[in-house]
Structure 1
Amino acid sequence: MTTIMEKTTGLVAFVRTVQNGSFASAGRIIGASPSAVSKSVARLEGRLGVRLFQRSTRTLRLTVEGTDYYERVAPLLQAMEEAENHVQSNETPQGLIRISVPVLVGRVLMARWVAKFVLLYPRLKFDLDVTDRNVDIIREGFDLALRIGALPDSGLNARLLGHTDHILAASPTYLKRRGAPLTLDDLQHHDCLRFLIAGRPFPYAFAGGASIIPDGPLDTSDGATLRQAAVEGMGIIQIPRFAVADDIAAGTLIHVLPGFPMLVSPIHALHPFGRQLPIRARLFVDFLVEQFREKDTAS
């Protein structure tokens, strides 16, 4: 009969292999040889009666069954580790928080907020992934992922952190060269830089219900690139207000069409934990709610 310890060993070996991409990398994380990790996974496959990985000399890929199994057991392993940390630390939060955030949130807000949070909880560490790509939270092993805008039906749990409005902005040099638009129709005659989501341009959406997808010389899936292109005079951008507040104050960007307010977008934290959000993640989410509240009050 397989013992609980043997089951746990196979589970840890499997999850760490998925998260780190190879038996060797998983072995370095858990302190075992690549062959020992491989054998643990093989025993797990034998017990389950399915192949979890497709193996070749150079690649290791999850099977359909492996993907389904990982998405079910990875949160369980995270909960086990959280329970152990909770007991060992005498309720002092410790451990690693893996979080994925959009580029503009990461560069403008998150570094400052993480620094404040670590002062409160010095035994916590962060792995901060700054990307505008929609990461696979479960498969890539994230505790949290921040999203701006409407959420797809992903089956993940979400906590509303706050809201942000968008504005149109352009540099003084661009507006001097091309003139400032006075109406929404004028945007069709301007160079409008577009943010891509899943390969598609994000519409310029206004509070009054108007929504347009103007043309322009640049499409990009990186928010920081979009902002910098506008600063360099390339065209007009739609961007979260917080991301260009300093530029507006400094005069390097100018608010375009301020009489036409744009839609306000929610900001959520997604997580895969169900109701049992680990204490380290729950504390940080609560902290983010407070930071967004303070930011909204100050703006």
Structure 2
Amino acid sequence: MKDIPTLRLYTRVARLGSFSAAARETNLAQSQVSRMIADLEAGLGVRLLSRTTRAVVPTEAGIEFLARIEPILAALDDAENSVRETGELRGRLRIAMPSIFGIRVLIPRLTKFIERHPKLHLETILEDQWQDLVRGAIDIGFRVGELPDASGTAKLIGKMHRITVAAPSYLEKHGTPATPAELHRHRIIVGPHAMHASSWQYRRDGRTDTIDVEPHFTTNDTSGALAAATSGLGLTSTTTWASKRELDSGALVRLLPAWTMAELPVHAYFPLGRATRVAARVFVDFVSEEFARD
């Protein structure tokens, strides 16, 4: 078996799908990376990577090896982090989150955390789709909205206020709804948080109004829903954090301010059947503290 740096190098080539990208990340020559992986394959007696002119893809054996070796490497990082007296974290932490949540909410808050742990490499996967944490070797996932089931380990870290917005150009043409009931006359844009919902709920003075919505434009990405609304395609339901930039600039305006909508929970969730890593716990505690300040 090769040494630990070679095993770590293999995981990076497999995850990045590129020898050159792994070489840049590790400050090694591409030829050196290629040679080290070839030596690893020779020692194991099996081809781990399928090489083409366009991509480097793990073979079936390579996928199996990756799935088994990544938790071992993560456990080694945890062993070191647990006994390091300075409290400084090292290694790599893979985090999955919805794209707009990461770009507009979480990533801008990370400077303080990175300054505390400069030797910890944060790798973020920005996708609105639900992630398979085990298969993706992801240490933490963040989810805006209700969790699909109660399995696994999850921690509520905060809530986001939901609002209804539209572009001034749309309102000039179609008018501004004065009550939730008037939404029936408007074009509705539905993003990922409400993609499978058939109604929106509004509360005022202890009363709840449930409004059935018929989408005219649907997208699985919050940025897409905001872009559609900003372009004047219709009105949409989003969160104050996601739409802050557009609200501040006037590209979007809030509708029905006298009514409130249900808040969206934000959870951190962890791989099922795997011990939560030290770095993951510290990171989630940091994020929870940041959310508590708002």
Whether TM-score is above 0.5 comes out as yes
Cα distance in 2 between the residues matched to 1:84 and 1:241? 40
Cα distance in 2 between the residues matched to 1:174 and 1:25? 45
How far apart are 1:195 and its partner, in Å? Answer: 1.3
Structure 1 residues 45, 138: CA separation in 2 closer, same or farther (over 3 Å shift)? farther
Q: Aligned AA for 1:170? A: A
Residue 34 of structure 1 corresponds to 34
Q: What's the Cα RMSD here?
A: 3.8
How far apart are 1:179 and its partner, in Å? Answer: 1.2
Q: Aligned AA for 1:106? A: G
How far apart are 1:60 and its partner, in Å? Answer: 5.8
Name the SS for the 1:206 alignment partner: strand
Deviates more, 1:137-146 or 1:27-36: 27-36
Structure 1 residues 117, 209: CA separation in 2 closer, same or farther (over 3 Å shift)? farther
Quick check: 1:257 aligned with 2:252? no
- Whether contact under 8 Å (2:13, 2:19) holds in the other structure is yes
Quick check: 1:267 aligned with 2:275? no
Residue 127 of structure 2 corresponds to 131
| Contiguous gaps of at least 5 residues in structure 2 | 203-207
Cα distance in 1 between the residues matched to 2:239 and 2:88? 36
- Whether contact under 8 Å (1:18, 1:139) holds in the other structure is no
Cα distance in 1 between the residues matched to 2:153 and 2:61? 23
Name the SS for the 2:241 alignment partner: helix
CA deviations over 1:255-280 (Å, ceiling 9, x no partner): 22344432222111223385643333
Cα distance in 2 between the residues matched to 1:149 and 1:69? 34
Q: Aligned AA for 1:220? A: T
- Whether contact under 8 Å (2:88, 2:116) holds in the other structure is no
Cα distance in 2 between the residues matched to 1:64 and 1:157? 29
Residue 286 of structure 2 corresponds to 287
CA deviations over 1:21-47 (Å, ceiling 9, x no partner): 25776677676543542453465477x
CA deviations over 1:183-225 (Å, ceiling 9, x no partner): 4443232121121479x56555326483634232x43333223
- Given candidates 154, 159, 164, the residue that maps to 1:158 is 154
Structure 1 residues 172, 36: CA separation in 2 closer, same or farther (over 3 Å shift)? closer
Cα distance in 2 between the residues matched to 1:129 and 1:11? 22
How far apart are 1:285 and its partner, in Å? Answer: 0.6
- Whether contact under 8 Å (1:143, 1:272) holds in the other structure is yes
Cα distance in 1 between the residues matched to 2:223 and 2:76? 38
Cα distance in 1 between the residues matched to 2:269 and 2:107? 19
Structure 1 residues 94, 240: CA separation in 2 closer, same or farther (over 3 Å shift)? same
Quick check: 1:242 aligned with 2:241? yes
Deviates more, 1:233-242 or 1:206-215: 206-215
Structure 1 residues 263, 220: CA separation in 2 closer, same or farther (over 3 Å shift)? same
1:167-178 matches, cutoff 5 A: 167-178=163-174
Name the SS for the 2:94 alignment partner: strand
Quick check: 1:76 aligned with 2:75? no
Residue 212 of structure 2 corresponds to 212
Residue 225 of structure 1 corresponds to 224
| Contiguous gaps of at least 5 residues in structure 1 | none
Identity of aligned residues (%): 29
Deviates more, 1:33-42 or 1:22-31: 22-31
Name the SS for the 1:152 alignment partner: coil
1:111-150 matches, cutoff 5 A: 111-150=107-146
Cα distance in 1 between the residues matched to 2:199 and 2:44? 50
TM-score normalised by structure 1 residue count: 0.73
- Whether contact under 8 Å (2:6, 2:36) holds in the other structure is no
Deviates more, 1:16-25 or 1:114-123: 16-25
Structure 1 residues 205, 41: CA separation in 2 closer, same or farther (over 3 Å shift)? farther
Structure 1 residues 23, 292: CA separation in 2 closer, same or farther (over 3 Å shift)? same
Cα distance in 2 between the residues matched to 1:21 and 1:258? 48
Deviates more, 1:172-181 or 1:117-126: 117-126
Q: Aligned AA for 2:200? A: A
